[in-house]
Amino acid sequence: MLRFFPNILLSIYISLSAISAFGGSFVLNGQEYRFIKQVGSGGYGNVYWVGSGGRKFAAKVNTRGGLSSEMINPEVFFNDFLAKHNNRQGINATHDVGTVKILGDSRFDPSKSYLVEISALRDQSLRRYAASELRLSKLTSAETVEERLERSLRVVTDLLAGLTTLHKSGYIHRDIKTDNILVTSDGRAEIIDWGLVLNIKERSLGTKKLVGTPAFVDIDLLRSMRFQFYNDYASLGAIIFGLLTGFDSPITALSSSGKLSASQRQSEGLTTSFKTKV
């Protein structure tokens, strides 16, 4: 027992340091938010679980500083779209966006201002949900194929609704992929990550600079080099392929088809003939 004592002290020390590192807070439009835990990260910065007035939220904090020329101004997009579509099917509710000082947290410089986006906190991304709840090759004896397909159908319906709302407002997302979709505890899918959103009205001539994620890109975009609203549906198509097969997307499947070991092929539910056809 005594042998483990120092280890216990060390873990208590580590836990206490972790708690104190998350002691910071910020005030956005008169509301105070306290950091609780980091829940995600990306090119833009990190996403945290924050608490305010006894409620949970997600706070996306831009630690990179500044926005690239391809990124929409989050405050403009919030006022023009997100604030008006907070309860819409397929769209993660964003409650507020603004610039704040973060105090009492060693990871943030108290003299700097950070752009933060406050949105509805969810448990998991579609990537994780698909791996455990949708993939047909992971079917357990306690469920039927129909139950899994029913869940996939609900995800696809939500995403089609979300994309249609976005497009009707004149915007395209340009980075639809499983990491940019969250799933609620009752299996509803919601689009997030509006950093690459493009206003089609303002940029009707399209853009020559390709942005997005190669595995989910619309092949037509590679040919035309011109963003169109239907590029988002092609990315959704890649997601649907992934939900059913277990690959991220057709492009991932193609690029890995020559390299899969026999055991991986088996675990992904692929047959040898499928592989040969690819």
Interface with ligand ATP includes 178 (CB under 6 A)? no
Q: Is 193 exposed, middle or buried (CB count within 10 Å of its CB: 0-12, 13-18, 19+)? A: buried
Interface with ligand ATP includes 48 (CB under 6 A)? no
What x-and-dash track marks residues 54-83 binding ligand ATP by CB under 6 A?
----x-x-----------------------
- Residue choice 179, 184, 230, 256 for contact with ligand ATP (CB under 6 A): 179
- Residue choice 81, 88, 90, 92 for contact with ligand ATP (CB under 6 A): 92
Interface with ligand ATP includes 192 (CB under 6 A)? yes
Interface with ligand ATP includes 193 (CB under 6 A)? yes
96-104, 119-127, 142-150, 162-170 -> range binding ligand ATP (CB under 6 A): 119-127
- Residue choice 42, 65, 110, 214 for contact with Mg ion (CB under 5 A): 42
- Is the Cβ of residue 193 or residue 232 nearer to ligand ATP in the bound state? 193
- Is the Cβ of residue 49 or residue 241 nearer to ligand ATP in the bound state? 49
Binding residues among 54-113 for Mg ion as defined by CB under 5 A: none
- Residue choice 47, 50, 172, 243 for contact with ligand ATP (CB under 6 A): 47
- Residue choice 121, 172, 176, 236 for contact with ligand ATP (CB under 6 A): 121
* 3-state DSSP of the chain: CHHHHHHHHHHHHHHHHHHHHCCCEEEECCEEEEEEEEEEECCCEEEEEEEECCEEEEEEEECCCCCCCCCCCHHHHHHHCHHHCCCCCCECCEEEEEEECCECCCCCCCCCCEEEEEECCCCEEHHHHHHHHHCHHHCCCCCCHHHHHHHHHHHHHHHHHHHHHHHHCCEECCCCCHHHEEECCCCCEEECCCCCCEECCCCCCCCCCCCCCHHHCCHHHHHHCCCCCCHHHHHHHHHHHHHHHCCCCHHHHHHHHCCCCHHHHHHCCCCHHHHHHC
Interface with ligand ATP includes 183 (CB under 6 A)? no
Q: Which residues of the shown chain bind ligand ATP in the complex (CB under 6 A)?
A: 39-40, 42-44, 47, 58, 60, 92, 119-122, 125, 179-180, 182, 192-193, 195
